[in-house]
Amino acid sequence: MRLSRYFLPVLKENPAEAQIVSHRYMLRAGMIKQQAAGIYSWLPLGYRVLRRIEQIVHEEQARAGHIPLLMPTLQPADLWRESGRYDDYGQEMLRIKDRHERDMLYGPTNEEMITDIFRSHVGSYKDLPLTLYHIQWKFRDEMRPRFGVMRGREFLMKDGYNFDLDKDAALHAYNRHMVSYLRTYERMGLTAIPMRAASGPIGGDNTHEFLVLASTGESEVFYDAAVTELKLGDREVDFDNRDEVAGICQEFTTLYARTDETHDAALFDQIPEDRRKVGRGIEVGQIFYFGTKYSEAMGATVVTPEGTKVPVEMGSHGIGVSRLLGAIIEASHDDKGIIWPEGVTPFPVGIVNLKQGDASTDLACEGLYKALAAKGLEALYDDREERAGAKFATMDLIGLPWRITVGPRGLANGVVELTSRRTGESEEMSAEAAVDRIVQVYAGHR
Ligand code: ATP
Ligand code: MG
């Protein structure tokens, strides 16, 4: 993308309404625009990151054997009357009437609708196990929408639902989600710690929230420092192997890590003192096992191998896709701007032309741009007639992990400069070597 032809409405001033750094940088970097309280347009740069995050979620769901579909945002109230939640959900639910005076709602979640789909089409144990998910906009009329996309009213969520014959199989689905989520967050450059949670309005007794440590998080968290060292990495996981998957869950949930809702001071005090940590965290996902709560209420049954009819066992599992942008920025920035992890960056690399209009620098930049494109890497090329300082400030603000700087002096010596946004360190090398390096860096990410 050539910056002169892109739409990147960067703000010079700090927007007064933004209280936390991620909200401030998302506005300043021209990623989002507020349209009403807690409702945002996604401008091109923000939209690119949002799509990257969706892509990672889809890839990791596929790895775990889960199947994507798409349910609508608007739902008929009657489905929610069947589960009893139409009255229970309260003011967070946006209720709408259509022209025929029928009660509708903008979905805050989809347990009822997915249960309806299941009961319409599945009736036998032979069709199990089954896990369906979608990435769709949700609406919750939050009392205090704030912190930009972190607590919106309209927000993008991945929500998945497992259907299983018995509790053991459903707990395997729960574990499968935990492992796939661990890998999902790691690919986004995050350490998200599964913490035992209290069940909210969705109900159920087996539930974990995934928290990213950040001083601006809304939850108070208590944990053993050793838990932050755990890594899934790229180990091969056989998602059908119950023991293997359960073993990984055990590895990640044995050390103490809880939110204030489930905190147990006596257990906490057993952690060696130098590892006992209290901090704050951002909830970026949650998994629930809730058994037959919805299947019983809504008549979603399956015939067992023995020929009896039983309500199907279920759970639901969510990732805060749009909130993740905020969480990633909270976890990865400095006083100049965002520092995107390679896995989610809107562009893999920026090219800065220090002397736009100079035949040799223009030619070198075009060459770099095309060489990267040929390797499947779309650079953001700053080809504007701007001062070098302004170009660097924009690149630092929008946070691309790598920058290639091309100037007449370097070119005279046959080199360009490759700079890491994270460390600030620069290295001179030939243009070809810079392309090779960028290709290498991203080999494991896309
Ligand atoms: P919270 O406690 O933060 O209100 P929740 O527990 O009600 O969230 P879930 O029903 O667990 O939310 O939804 C799954 C995920 O969706 C959450 O883990 C969170 O990352 C994201 N999410 C929930 N509410 C919002 C919101 N208002 N804005 C952005 N993301 C949200
Ligand atoms: Mg939650």
| Ligand closest in space to the Cα of 201 | 1
Sign of CA dihedral 195, 198, 201, 204: positive
Tell me if 285 CB under 6 Å of ligand 1: yes
| Ligand closest in space to the Cα of 317 | 1
Does residue 221 fall inside a structural domain? yes
How far is the C-alpha of 145 from the C-alpha of 137, rounded, in Å?
16
pLDDT tens digits, 245-299: 999 999 999 999 999 999 999 999 999 999 999 999 999 999 999 999 999 999 9
Residue 251 sits in the same domain as residue 360: no
Tell me if 326 CB under 6 Å of ligand 1: no
pLDDT at 445: 79
Distance 320 CA to ligand 1 centre (A): 6
Tell me if 333 CB under 6 Å of ligand 1: no
How far is the C-alpha of 130 from the C-alpha of 127, rounded, in Å?
7
Residue 361 sits in the same domain as residue 270: no
Nearest residue (by CA) to ligand 1, atom 2, is 283
Burial class for 428, CB neighbours closer than 10 Å (0-12, 13-18, 19+): middle
Does residue 239 fall inside a structural domain? yes
Residue 265 sits in the same domain as residue 405: no
Give whole-number Cα distances, 369 to 4, 33, 340, 435, in Å: 14, 29, 20, 9
Residue 334 sits in the same domain as residue 364: no
Host domain of residue 295: 3-338
Sheet strands (E) in 140-234: 154-164, 192-196, 206-213, 219-224
Does residue 138 fall inside a structural domain? yes
Instruction: Tell which residue, 47, 43, 21, 24, has the closest CA to residue 32.
Output: 43
Q: Which atom of ligand 1 is nearest to the CA of 319?
A: 15
Residue 175 sits in the same domain as residue 90: yes
How many structural domains are present in the chain?
2
Residue 375 sits in the same domain as residue 432: yes
Residue 147 sits in the same domain as residue 234: yes
Tell me if 48 CB under 6 Å of ligand 1: no
Residue 164 sits in the same domain as residue 99: yes
Tell me if 283 CB under 6 Å of ligand 1: yes
Give whole-number Cα distances, 393 to 8, 272, 390, 427, in Å: 13, 44, 5, 19
Residue 315 sits in the same domain as residue 360: no
Q: 84: alpha, beta or left, given left = phi > 0 and alpha = psi -120 to 50?
A: left
Distance 103 CA to ligand 1 centre (A): 25
Residue 315 sits in the same domain as residue 365: no
Tell me if 284 CB under 6 Å of ligand 1: yes
Does residue 343 fall inside a structural domain? no
Q: Exposure pattern of 252-283 as b/e (b: 16+ CB <10 Å)?
A: bbebbbbbeeebeeeebeebeeeeebebbbbb
Q: What is the spatial order of strands in the sheet that 350-353 belongs to?
A: 380-382, 350-353, 402-406, 416-420, 426-429
pLDDT at 249: 97
Q: Report the predicted TM-score, pTM, of the whole model to 2 decimal places.
A: 0.97
CATH number at residue 18: 3.30.930.10
pLDDT at 198: 83
| Ligand closest in space to the Cα of 140 | 1
Q: Is 374 helix (H, G, I), strand (E, B) or coil?
A: helix
| Ligand closest in space to the Cα of 159 | 1
Which residues of the chain are under the pLDDT cut of 50? Answer: none
pLDDT at 201: 57
Residue 273 sits in the same domain as residue 417: no
Residue 27 sits in the same domain as residue 153: yes
Tell me if 152 CB under 6 Å of ligand 1: yes
Give whole-number Cα distances, 401 to 31, 59, 339, 432, in Å: 17, 22, 6, 19
Distance 268 CA to ligand 1 centre (A): 26
Does residue 253 fall inside a structural domain? yes
Out of 338, 365, 392, a domain closes at 338
Nearest residue (by CA) to ligand 1, atom 1, is 283
Tell me if 318 CB under 6 Å of ligand 1: yes
Does residue 294 fall inside a structural domain? yes
CATH number at residue 373: 3.40.50.800
pLDDT at 202: 54
